Amino acid sequence: MKLSNAKVAGISLTVFAAMLGLGFSAEPLYGTFCRVTGYGGTTRIATAAPKEIVDQTITVRFDTNVADVPLEFRPLQRSQDVKIGQHGLAFFEVSNPTDQEFHVIAAYNVTPHYSGKYFNKLECFCFDERVIAPHETKKLPVVYFISPDMVEDHVADQLETITLSYTFYESSTYNGPKTQAALGAANSATGG
């Protein structure tokens, strides 16, 4: 069976258009997939803490980083012990020791990555642009809980420690899920 040049051109154009469309939709689809499933350490956003509190304690460690921004960023506590289902409140502090104003965005991740689907935030300073004025210091709260569903997961039910990590990026260089995925891959490669 011999195809005419017009049919080959039509098939080629259709395949090209489909690949182009998939290329443009891959990043938003991946971001949605990560938020829904918790894949890659992406946590979930919740509107209320669960009513059930499980008598199992998890240590939540806090990690902070800055990416090419001369800010000082630290957790005001290194870790917290919370019961599964109980809400936790943690504070972070960001300081600008320079004479320059910075527009920044904080991205987050949790490790081990499979715990992301159980780690929920009720309030977070992440993904909102913040302006840090020269010589300004800001306290930033995070309210979170670990879903009681975790005790039903045979992989996660014995987990003792979860690390919540934040990285501040200059707004103009932050590239959303691509940047966050690269950070997650780097953390996985270094064991961090």
In whole numbers, what is the pLDDT of the chain averaged over residues?
81
Which domains are present in the chain? 38-190 (2.60.370.10)
* pLDDT (0 to 100) of residue 176: 66
* pLDDT (0 to 100) of residue 77: 97
More confident residue, 42 or 14: 14
* pLDDT (0 to 100) of residue 49: 65
Residue ranges of the alpha helices (H) in the chain? 5-37, 177-190
Tens of pLDDT, residues 127-186: 789 999 999 999 999 999 999 999 999 878 789 999 999 999 999 888 765 444 444 444
CB neighbour list of residue 140: distance below 8 Å, 6 or more residues apart:
91, 92, 93, 94, 106, 125
